[in-house]
Amino acid sequence: MKPVNHFKSDIIFNPIIILFGLILLIFFSLGLGHQELGPGRLVSIIWGNFGFKGHESEETYQSIVFLVRLPRILLAVLIGAGLAASGAAFQTIFRNPLVSPEILGVSAGAGFGAALAMLFKLPPILVQSFALAFGLLAVALTLGIARVTDRASIMSMLLGGIVVTALFGAFLGVVKTLADPWNTLPGIVFWLLGSLARSSPRDVLMVLPATVLGLGTLFLFRYQIETLSAGHDEAKTMGVEPFKVRMVVVGAATLITAVGVSVCGMVGWIGLVTPHLARIRGGTSFPTLLVRSMAFGAILTLAIDDLIRSVKAAELPLGVMTALIGTPIFLILLPKTRGAFR
């Protein structure tokens, strides 16, 4: 028997069309902004950057395209793909459609860490470092609580996550209360809402390796993760150690989310909604879900960020826009994908 695709092949799930769509969207996004650049102009700028002879006096545009727009676009793609893949993996191992990558407290921890650094007026690199460190610390705390209460069962991990999220939410409240309401507090609030507006090439260098490492790990373990979707007992009798795989997934997803959140703030909904988007035609095996979620997460995040950039009046925070757009998508999708969860 051949490993055929068992469901009707579908134009929206065709990998070539998805990849082509993403490349097209990236190209389109490069032209978007205060200085709108048409496709022809864009080609000539990109052409020029690779040392080919182009128009003179295009250096300004080259730096706009390659040092300002491209990092932002790459970050949207990386963070979107990473959050969506983490969400898909968490929904699978926790066997729950309402789980998102933030469930173990990583975002709450990162938010507190960033706010703390801003309270002490530390430079941006330390704000990011604090966010990352506290994000990881929060998840470690969740795992510790889960281990003490019930040998790291699914329920104890989710409960631990809820407790830790509440705890760091309270810490954040303390920091906000102490923060100078004129100078510091607005920065904290804006950071928490999430944004890609100040993306720099250095941010890409920080996010890229962590995301690639995390996604690579999820990909390597994709079939073991799929086995876990059958539940602890069945996975174990089918030869897969549930605890080990769960820890690998938590490690990979936490790395992706913590680094992503530390660079661009809180971006919710992508990790929750995208796996549902990837399942609109019914349940599927995790390896397929993973790849689809990555692609859809990248496209969705980039498209939302493009929308933010095209609104000229004010730049809305990314976290706000993902929720504004994510909520209706989720409400439309949930009844359609419910059949895949019972």
Partner 1 sequence: MSLAIDKLSFGYRKEKPIIDNLALAISSAKVTALLGTNGAGKTTLLRLILGLLDPWKGTIAFDGVDLTKLTVAKRSRLAAYVPQFSDPAMPGSVAQVALMSRFSRLSLGRSPTSQDWDAVAEALDLMGITDLWARPFMDLSGGEKRKVLIARALAQKAKLLVLDEPTAFLDPVAQVDCLNTLRALAESGLTLVMTTHFPDHALWASDMAALLKDGSILASGPSHQVMTPDNLSKLYDRPFAVANTEKLPTGLTYKVCLPLWGKLP
Residues that bind partner 1 (CB under 8 A): 1-3, 6-7, 91-92, 95-97, 219-221, 223-224, 226-227, 229-231, 233-234, 236-241, 279, 282-285, 287-289, 339-342
Least Cβ distance, residue 267 to partner 1 (angstroms): 24
Least Cβ distance, residue 275 to partner 1 (angstroms): 9
What is the distance between the alpha carbons of residues 113 and 167, in angstroms, rounded to a whole number? Answer: 13
CB nearer to partner 1: pick between 320 and 340: 340
**Burial of 221 per CB tally in 10 Å (0-12, 13-18, 19+):** buried
Q: Which two tokens stand for residue 167?
A: 């705890």
Least Cβ distance, residue 99 to partner 1 (angstroms): 10
CB nearer to partner 1: pick between 129 and 229: 229
Residue found by looking up tokens 């059958």 in the block: 230
Q: Which DSSP letter does residue 79 get?
A: H
Task: Please tell me the number of Cα atoms within 13 Å of 11 on its side-chain side.
Answer: 1
| Element holding 154 (H helix, E strand) | helix 154-178
Least Cβ distance, residue 157 to partner 1 (angstroms): 15
Per-residue burial over 80-98, b = 16 or more CB atoms within 10 Å of its CB, e = otherwise: bbbbbbbbbbbbbbbeebe
CB nearer to partner 1: pick between 142 and 224: 224
CB nearer to partner 1: pick between 184 and 284: 284
Q: Which two tokens stand for residue 240?
A: 């897969």
Least Cβ distance, residue 260 to partner 1 (angstroms): 24
CB nearer to partner 1: pick between 88 and 137: 88
Q: Which amino acid is at 38?
A: G
What is the distance between the alpha carbons of residues 65 and 25, in angstroms, rounded to a whole number? Answer: 15
Least Cβ distance, residue 246 to partner 1 (angstroms): 13
What is the distance between the alpha carbons of residues 82 and 225, in angstroms, rounded to a whole number? Answer: 16
What is the distance between the alpha carbons of residues 303 and 318, in angstroms, rounded to a whole number? Answer: 11
84: left (phi over 0), alpha (psi -120 to 50) or beta: alpha
Q: Which amino acid is at 103?
A: I
What is the distance between the alpha carbons of residues 61 and 182, in angstroms, rounded to a whole number? Answer: 36
Least Cβ distance, residue 240 to partner 1 (angstroms): 5
Q: Which DSSP letter does residue 120 get?
A: T
CB nearer to partner 1: pick between 96 and 310: 96
Least Cβ distance, residue 140 to partner 1 (angstroms): 25
Cα→Cα distances 165→119, 127, 208, Å: 20, 19, 26
Q: How far is CA 48 from the centre of its chain?
A: 33
Least Cβ distance, residue 102 to partner 1 (angstroms): 19
CB nearer to partner 1: pick between 20 and 223: 223
Strands (E), 244-327: none
